[in-house]
Amino acid sequence: MSARTIGMDFDYTPKQREIYDLVGELGKTHFAPRAAEYDEKTVTPVANMRDFIDAGLAGLTVSEDLGGLGSGAMGRDPLLYIIAIEQTARYCMSTAHSLHIHCHGSHLVDQICSPAQRKNILGNVVENGALLNATGSEPGRTSRGLYNLVTAAERVDGGYVVNGTKNYASLADTVEYNVIFAGIKGMSPTEGHIGLCIPRGTPGLTLEEGSWNPMGMRAAVSPNILLDNCFVPDDYVIGTPGVFPRDRWQARFHLGFAAQYLGGSEGIFDYLTDYLPKRGTASDAYAQLRLGEIRIGIDSVRWLIYRAAWLWKMRRIEEAELFSMTAKHRAIENAVNAMDKGAQIAGSSAFHAKSPLARMFRDLRVQTLHENLDKTAATVGKYHLGQEFDTTARL
């Protein structure tokens, strides 16, 4: 039996290789040199996003019928966009998150919207490089649960009027469409959970000045969105009420996060292999040992992520959700481990405030806080104990 027959193929397809090389080249020549300035100025990496658009990658997670590349968890080639995010994170974590969130928003529209909406919104993505995001987060959501939103959508003639505050709205200042989630007034949090794709310039949507000033991921500018009687017509209401929790859409984005942690760890590894010989410590047995441990961790995580992507491709949905959590868990642990072991062999001189390594550490540490590591592992545990579980209960 050939390897292909039993579904085990550990090589990239020609298209995947092309994306790996293309984004790697963009990262090396464009994203890495710009990273310090974006970080210092705390601005969205618009030139990097433009580079993706110019390279024909705006439609990475849009289906081929609209001219996209057909990736995304529910796409024909789930691994393709994961590779792009991984390779971007290697050079700039903030840009990788920006790409991830655009891919996330456009994939959702691709999969749950009507043909007319897909043509209108995603046509604009593929043809004009319009960007989207996806903001579920809002102040205090952690203790209320992922779907228990305070931001309220009230049904009126021809659409919804929305009021509330969203936070952590990545790319909000740059996108053509702010995708936000709200709860329909008078319905339960899950049944009334609704997505709204709000075009730029819609009255009643403003960004809260000064609401983004974190320690790391500074260029993944994610301000608060204030919604004040913002009318969203039906043409921009995405999917039916409750589809996001019902189909566990959040689980379809686990791997995009995992790819960021993987790429960020690769960035640290790249830095160390360049830095240690220059520093004269490459012959130190402990430096060799730690570097080898970091490499082994990275390679292990990569194959977990790639296998999870394969499960999505095979449409083994429940397995894919759970294994994506496994991959994400290991990707976080590995990233934190790479930071810890890397710091020990790099030494304090590598950490002056403006060094690339310092920025990578700040970014990776903040970005790995998206997730609740323990809750992720406990969900996998629940499944194996035959108990009820939800692969989206926590990010």
Which residues of the shown chain bind ligand FAD in the complex (CB under 6 A)?
97, 101, 133-137, 142-143, 168-170, 217, 220, 222, 366-367, 369-370, 372, 395
Q: How far is CA 92 from the centre of its chain?
A: 13
Please, which residue, 71 or 135, has the CB nearer to ligand FAD? 135
Smallest gap, in angstroms, from Cβ of residue 210 to ligand FAD?
16
Please, which residue, 168 or 323, has the CB nearer to ligand FAD? 168
Please, which residue, 168 or 306, has the CB nearer to ligand FAD? 168
Half-sphere exposure of 52 (CA within 13 A, CB side): 30
Please, which residue, 77 or 371, has the CB nearer to ligand FAD? 371
Query: Whose structure tokens read 């100025």?
Result: 41
Please, which residue, 95 or 133, has the CB nearer to ligand FAD? 133
Smallest gap, in angstroms, from Cβ of residue 37 to ligand FAD?
18
Smallest gap, in angstroms, from Cβ of residue 171 to ligand FAD?
7
- Give how far Cα 180 sits from Cα of 137, 172, 222, 238, 364, Å: 9, 10, 13, 10, 25
Answer whether 103's CB lies under 8 Å from 52's CB.
Answer: no
Please, which residue, 90 or 166, has the CB nearer to ligand FAD? 166
Q: CA 240 to CA 247: how far, in whole Å?
A: 11
Smallest gap, in angstroms, from Cβ of residue 361 to ligand FAD?
15
Question: Strands 177-184 and 152-156, how do they pair?
Answer: parallel
Smallest gap, in angstroms, from Cβ of residue 301 to ligand FAD?
20
Q: CA 255 to CA 232: how far, in whole Å?
A: 31
Smallest gap, in angstroms, from Cβ of residue 76 to ligand FAD?
25
Radius of gyration of the chain (CA): 21
Please, which residue, 246 or 375, has the CB nearer to ligand FAD? 375
The DSSP H or E segment spanning 184 is strand 177-184
Q: CA 83 to CA 15: how far, in whole Å?
A: 11
**What strand order describes the sheet that includes 205-207?**
205-207, 225-233, 159-166, 152-156, 177-184, 193-199, 237-238
Rounded to 5 degrees, what are φ and ψ at 258? -55, -40
Per-residue DSSP letters for 296-347?
Answer: HHHHHHHHHHHHHHHHHHTT-HHHHHHHHHHHHHHHHHHHHHHHHHHHHHH-
Smallest gap, in angstroms, from Cβ of residue 94 to ligand FAD?
8
Please, which residue, 284 or 333, has the CB nearer to ligand FAD? 333
Q: CA 46 to CA 287: how far, in whole Å?
A: 37
Smallest gap, in angstroms, from Cβ of residue 298 to ligand FAD?
22
Please, which residue, 134 or 327, has the CB nearer to ligand FAD? 134
Smallest gap, in angstroms, from Cβ of residue 377 to ligand FAD?
13
Query: Whose structure tokens read 């990010």?
Result: 395
Smallest gap, in angstroms, from Cβ of residue 142 to ligand FAD?
3
User: Which residues lie below 8 Å from residue 301, measured CB to CB, with a gap of 6+?
Assistant: 258, 261, 262, 265, 327, 330, 331, 334
Please, which residue, 221 or 291, has the CB nearer to ligand FAD? 221
Answer whether 183's CB lies under 8 Å from 146's CB.
Answer: no
